[in-house]
A and B are shown apart, each in its own frame.
Chain A
Amino acid sequence: MISLENLTKQYGATAVVDGVSMVIERNSITVIVGTSGSGKSTLLRMINRLVEPTRGRVLIDGADTTGEPAHLLRRRIGYVIQGYGLFPHRTVAENIATVPRLLGWDEARIRIRVAGLLSVFQLDPGAYAHAFPHQLSGGQQQRVGVARALAAEPAVLLMDEPFGALDPIIRAKAQDDLLDIQRRFGTTILLVTHDMDEAFRLGDRVAVMSHGRLLQYDRPAVLLTRPADPFVSRMTGISDRAMRLLSLTTAGEAALPGASDGPAVAASASLREVLSELMWCGAESAAVMDADGTRRGRLTIAAILARGRPG
């Protein structure tokens, strides 16, 4: 659990982060969104003390982060940035081994960990362990960046626009991978983005920032249905808020008992996708199937539409 208490950073007279307090739950993904210059990166960098707060404090599992030298704190916190910052003179394996080496792990343990991460991130060790960053595609570099951040099994992972440089298809894949990784390692992830779609897709909770202030911090559905501020509704988008709301619920969660002779949809599909499928097929209802092929239930257009209304 990470607690930010009245966190403030001033440069000169301007507070670029202004009295932010929030509690980040363990094993969750929290996304910070806001326009460019709203103080997202500064907020994130105060957590691993790349920026020292002017006021306020950060507690990780109850312990004040100023209790140890900053560079030692950072070895326990994963950090991924836009552009990744891979070390160009080191191989992929050496890049990933950075923090374990700093922590003084023995070579055998490092080798096993690196091999494990390469396979988790779908990088064939034979082909990539000894490759250099410039020999990789953007998507591969991104994966090495995340693997490097996770190498020493940090409980907390900070990510600053980690997918910003990827094209849409690779980005969607990287987002799915991140959700997988989060489930697999149980890491507490704090991710910064200016992309609302990304925030809604990844965030268990979303924090909206503007001019250094935290406007609202809640579950995505609450941001849509009960925005605390006109800026929040502008950020979340008014014109397609019903569709966004639908995209937050899966067919499995919304399925009703009963059979359907309509198209089969996966329980993991969002209601938005199911609705689109029903419109496309001209059907009134869909059969919701679990991953193992058993029938979960059914969904009608009317039931889906009801889910797209606030309250």
Chain B
Amino acid sequence: MPGMAAILRLAALALLLAFLLTPQSFAPLFAPLTQYGAPPIYDQGNLLTLALAHLGTVCCAAAASTLVAVGLGILVTRPSGAQFLPLSRTLVNIGQTFPPVAVLAVTVPLVGFGEKPTLIALFAYGLLPIFENTIVGLQTCPAAVLEAASGMGMSARQRLLSVELPLALPLILEGIRLSLVINVGTATIGSTVAAKGLGEVIIAGLLSNNNAFILQGGLVTGLMAILLYDALAGLERRICRTAHLD
């Protein structure tokens, strides 16, 4: 079965690359979806450039979410920061429940159109899974292990860096992966405020009533999400195996 999965994965990657590098060769496939001789392949920009910009935005937002969520997760699991747990949880939950579109509406007047409001929306939307997983990872370190670490004479900082974070790492990575994958899809809304990304393709399709564009934007986004999820899961397994955290 792992053989089968690997083949599917490779096929998906090959399909994605082929489409991004030579979109015109797929024109016959998409032609039936168009009407009145409209272009079957998105022609208002380079698909590869858009996909890379999309991925770049998502990764920047994820990096910021990771920094803040892991930092906050560490803070609220220290005895001195425990009092901030309810507040932090509320804030992070708002970040997730407040619709990203609404975040755009609020931030555009403040920071203008383009990447910035999108980054802020994705950042806020991606905090929750990383934050919660960091907390669970840190809180489920076995009590005896923590007691031994302190008993051996590790300072609080040494204990955090050499015991708690390594043991929490698998869960933290899982949180980052969830956050990234959710945001690959969510990032399409950035195009409503003129951020470069695959949302552009979908919006162009909606505006010109071109189903081929909509499908292309959706397919590329979906394939990227699936492949990213898969790749990160593999990376996670490898990191955990070399660190013997399984």
Contacts and interface: CB of A to CB of B under 8 A. Distances in A.
Interface of A: 48, 50, 71-76, 79, 81-90, 98-99, 102, 132, 145, 148-149
Interface of chain B: mostly helix, strand, loop or mixed: helix
B21 to A, nearest CB: 42
A81 B144 contact: yes
A87 B145 contact: yes
A102 B243 contact: no
A74 B167 contact: no
Interface residues on B, range: 20 to 34
A89 B142 contact: no
Contacts of B243: 89
A86 B244 CA distance: 13
15 contacts: A48-B151, A50-B147, A50-B151, A71-B150, A79-B152, A81-B148, A82-B144, A85-B149, A86-B145, A88-B142, A89-B245, A98-B152, A145-B148, A148-B152, A149-B152
Contacts of A82: 144
Nearest to B145: A85
Given A88-B167, A89-B243, A89-B245, A102 B145 contact: no
B152 A83 contact: no
Contact of A75 (B142, B152, B167, B244): B152
Nearest to A79: B151
Contacts, number: 65
A140 B146 CA distance: 20
Contacts of B49: none
B151 A81 contact: yes
Contacts of B155: 71
Contact of B150 (A74, A84, A88, A132): A74
A75 B167 CA distance: 23
A89 B145 CA distance: 11
B145 A88 contact: yes
B150 A50 contact: yes
A75 B153 contact: yes
B147 A102 contact: no
Which of B146, B151, B245 counts the most A-chain CB atoms under 10 A from its CB? B151
Which residue among A71, A73, A76, A132 has the maximum number of chain B CB atoms within 10 Å of its CB?
Answer: A71
